Structures are given as structure tokens and as C-alpha cells.
Chain A
Amino acid sequence: MATAARKQDMPPPGGYKRIIYERNPARTYFSGYQMIAAYVGITAASCYVYYLTCKEIEHDEVEMRSGRFALAPMLTAERDREYLKQLRRNRDEEASLMANVKGWEVGTWFGEPVFKTLPADKLMDPTFNEFYVHTSYKEFAKRAMLKHWT
């Protein structure tokens, strides 16, 4: 049985490539101290800009609030008048609605008032549902849900 000629696996002619083991650091643009100084400088500058922006935002907020406060008396006056008108309308509506019920007194449970220790002329604000009780549910919901969306 003839044996095939065997070829020894040898390095390539001229030897293997040189193994690079020296460090090959990236080019440095700044020293450590320079970078720390830049950090401090940029932070200081941005803090200053932040301060200026905060001041401006506060100025704008105060101005908006100021404008609303200037209008508040006029809006409150208008609201008060409409509110009292509506209270009277509600009271009249209740009186006409319960006209056929014997012994019914407006604002009370057959003569038993809600607030017993208050003077008779004291105006108590009705609750939200009470205020809207003679209207449709749609009107009530429109007002009740409004504050959830605005």
C-alpha cells in the first residue's frame, strides 16, 4: 500500500505577520483639566440662561394672573346677578312643581328646614346637583364635565 506524500503545514514564506501589541490611543484634543473647566463653564452658562428663562416665565405668569384679577370684579358682579336670578327661578319652579303636594313648603322637607340653627334670611348655596335639578341632564352634564376638560 503506497503511502501518499505528506506535506507539513508550515508558516508562510517570510514568516507570520508581526503581532501589533503597542497601544494605539485616540488623538487627545483636551486634557482632563480642560474638560473639567469646560464642564464647569458650560454648566454655569446654562444655569444663567435657565435663571433668565425662569424669570421671564414668572413675569409672564404674574402678568396673566394680574390681568385676570383686574377682570375678576366685573365677572363676579355679573355672575352674582345671574346666580341670584337663577335661584329665584329655581324656587319658583319648585313652588309650581310641588303646588299639588299638600303640606309642601319650598326649600324644606314638609316644613323641616335643612339648616335649623341658621337665621331665616341666611342664603346658603345649594349643592351643584340641587342647583341643576330642574333642568335636563344634558345641561347639567355640560357644566359638570366642563371642569374635567378645561
Chain B
Amino acid sequence: MVVTNTVDLPTEEELTVPEVNLSNASLRAGAFHLGKYCEKQNLEFMLCRQELDDPRKCIEEGKQVTSCTMNFFRMVKKTCAEEFAQYANCLDKSSPYFDYNRCRTTQGVYDKCIFDNLQIERPEYGYYCRPKVHDSPRPAPPPPEKTIYTDVPHSLPEDYPRPPAKHGSRFHYAN
């Protein structure tokens, strides 16, 4: 493997946090409100991941994302468990790809419950597809240094003699 002993890997304990133990249908059901509730953490994590391009440097941000997600689902469980389960069940059983358009009725019930209890409004359908501007407290990494090659050979001087080709053109049709 390419990972040598000089590569600093975090230990197992540093990486172990309670993970979100939910099925695909439940995650999809909660996705829109979750994204709104954890927007700051998510943007921070994704920006870190994109800018630094190293999973080791964004572990703290990732833990915050996961704990925020856990908090969100705990809140949902406390307030709208039944509506949520109904919506997730509908998504699960209505189509093979958890299509949202098959479950508008249960979605309406769930949205209303979340809005009444947690004051989170469902964002419009393309909200997470739009680019976001995020002001991060973490300073941006410096741009990559431009490589300068010092051993490039010099070009010929301007007045170097340039006689015509000795054997004509290399293209037979031009001779």
C-alpha cells in the first residue's frame, strides 16, 4: 500500500463518534429539513473538503456535521416521529429510487408538523443544487506555487543562420 509510516493517520479513538444509524428512506425523508438545519456545518465541511482535499484535515468539521445530523433526527423523533415514519415508509415503498414525487400527501403532513414544531420550512425543490456563498472562519489555503523550471535551454539567437532545408520539405507533395 502507498500509505507509509511517515503519513500521519488519526487513531481509531479520534475517529469514533456515534454515527447516524438510519436507513436510506429515512435519510431521504429528512434530507431537505436536515440540510436547512445543518446548513452552516455542511457548508463548512464541504468547503474544507474541497479546499484542502484531504480527509484528515476536515475530521473536526465532519464530526460537527454528524453531531448536528444526530441532533436534527433526535428532534424529529421527539416531535414528529409518526409523520416522519409515515413519510419514510411511503418513500420506501412507492418507488425503487425513493422518488419524492410519489409521496406528496405524506410529505405535506410531515412538512406541516416540522414547521409547527421546529420552525424549519422546507426549502424550494432546487435549493441544494444552487451554489452557495459561505464565509468561513478558516483562512483559505495559499494558491499552489507555480513551478519554475531553471534548466530550460535558451532559444537560438535571432541572427543565427537559417539556411534553406538541404533536402527540401519533409512533405513529398511540397517538393
Contacts and interface: CB of A to CB of B under 8 A. Distances in A.
A80 B58 contact: yes
Interface string B20-56: 1000000110011011001001100110010000111
Given A74-B20, A106-B4, A133-B1, A88 B35 contact: no
B59 interface: yes
Nearest to B8: A121
Contact of B125 (A66, A83, A94, A105): A66
Contact-residue bracket for chain A: 35 or more
Contacts of B65: 73-74, 77
Interface in A76-126: 76-78, 80-85, 87-88, 90-91, 94, 105-108, 113-115, 120-126
Nearest to A124: B2
A70 B34 contact: yes
A142 to B, nearest CB: 18
B126 interface: yes
Contact-residue bracket for chain B: 35 or more
Contacts of B31: 67-68, 70-71
12 contacts: A59-B125, A63-B100, A73-B45, A77-B58, A84-B55, A87-B3, A88-B10, A90-B3, A91-B1, A105-B5, A107-B4, A130-B2
Given A76-B45, A106-B1, A107-B4, 13 more contacts: A60-B100, A63-B125, A65-B129, A67-B32, A70-B128, A77-B61, A77-B63, A78-B20, A87-B1, A107-B3, A120-B7, A121-B6, A123-B54
- Going nearest first, the 3 A-B pairs with the smallest beta carbon separation are A70-B35, A77-B62, A107-B4
Interface of A: 59-60, 62-74, 76-78, 80-85, 87-88, 90-91, 94, 105-108, 113-115, 120-126, 130-131, 133
